[in-house]
Amino acid sequence: MVECLVLPGVGGLAVQALLAACCLGVFYIKRQKEEKSLGVDARTKEEFVLDASKQFAGAAWLHVLNLAFASVLNGLMSGGDECEWYWINILVDTTVGTGVVYFLLKIASAFVKKRFGPEGAVDFKSGEYREEDGIISMKKYGKQLTVWLVVVSGMKILMIMFMFIFSGPLTAFAGFILAPFLTQPWLKLVFVMIAFPLLMDAFQIWMIDNFIKKRVEQFGVEHDPEAAYDPYVEASADALLAFSQRAEEVLVNFNAEEALTNFKARYDEVTSVDQPPRGAVHASPNGRFDTLEVPITDDSDAKQKFSTIIPPDQSVE
């Protein structure tokens, strides 16, 4: 049986382009449905495009990580090929990962408010890109995009740990689901990289858009019930704040020259070998006692003292 590999040449790249086009179609359907249910003024087209671009950037970053981790996990763990691990990545990211992203985003919101205060947290308010004059601020968008990519990366790290711990059951489940496609690697590739991702990504896109779009209560002082009454979010945000403050103190007080000096001293201490004093008697491996040789130096004072103790030979007549 030929092993199924992710991105096997030009055909695999075409599969990726088709998947990206399908994801754009999901965004379009979401926009049309929102206009019918909430009205055109619920969210402007500019705001929707910026919200969608954040998701698209996060999805593209996750896709790169999935391709990389599929090969890594396939090499480190027994069982399963690249297609199966890619399928497992999609399954975990779009189910458990969606809930983790929501929780991490709440922690990030609470942390930003604690770190920068209510006024400083305004720029990070998800979905709010306009200044007071109504003009779109790309500075706000950049800050929100940075937070979103950090949240997505944190989710990916947690999901990798989850997959590492439960690698056995996950590979067995993947093998059971993908068993009908084992005879044809190309069919398995199409199912793993088009059909299943399209279904699961559509679900994830729909869910994530619901909690990253504009929300008045996310960072507001009077309307922040979730961050105020969720003890897990508060505790996590406090721990993250303490860590960031400690890291900032270390960076401020960091002295590169002193650190290098201390490192060199520790290195010399570890690598130094105790040398016996010159002229000391030591036992050789064969049981004999030898005297260490003392190197002869060209010292005139020493020669003078030596000649006074042992005078030179004189001829006898």
Range of the domain at 115: 14-250
Q: Given this model, what pLDDT does residue 97 score?
A: 92
Q: What is the mean pLDDT of the chain?
A: 75
On the CB side of 171, CA atoms within 13 Å amount to: 16
Task: Please check the confidence at residue 48 and state whether its pLDDT lies above 50.
Answer: yes
Instruction: Compute φ and ψ for 57, nearest 5 degrees.
Output: -65, -40
Enter the pTM of the model.
Answer: 0.69
Long-range contacts of 55-59 (CB under 8 A, 24+ apart): 55/27, 55/205, 55/208, 55/209, 55/212, 56/23, 56/24, 56/27, 57/145, 57/148, 57/149, 58/148, 58/149, 58/152, 59/23, 59/201, 59/205
User: What total number of domains does the chain contain?
Assistant: 1
Say which range, 88-92, 160-164, 256-260, has the weakest mean pLDDT: 256-260
Asked if residue 85 belongs to a domain, the reply is: yes
- Structure letter (DSSP) for residue 215: -
Structure tokens at 194: 């088009």
Asked if residue 310 belongs to a domain, the reply is: no
For residue range 11-45, list pLDDT tens digits in order: 667 777 777 788 788 888 888 887 777 666 678 88
Q: Given this model, what pLDDT does residue 101 score?
A: 92
Diameter of the chain by CA atoms?
A: 134
Asked if residue 178 belongs to a domain, the reply is: yes
Euclidean distance between CA atoms 206 and 200, whole angstroms: 10
Asked if residue 168 belongs to a domain, the reply is: yes
Percent of the chain beyond pLDDT 70?
68
Contact between 227 and 109 under an 8 Å Cβ cutoff? The reply is yes
Instruction: State mean pLDDT over 286-306.
Output: 50
Asked if residue 304 belongs to a domain, the reply is: no
When pLDDT is cut at 50, 70 and 90, the band that residue 171 belongs to is: confident
According to DSSP, the β-strands at 281-283 and 289-291 are antiparallel
When pLDDT is cut at 50, 70 and 90, the band that residue 219 belongs to is: very low
- Structure letter (DSSP) for residue 278: T
When pLDDT is cut at 50, 70 and 90, the band that residue 98 belongs to is: very high
Contact between 7 and 184 under an 8 Å Cβ cutoff? The reply is no
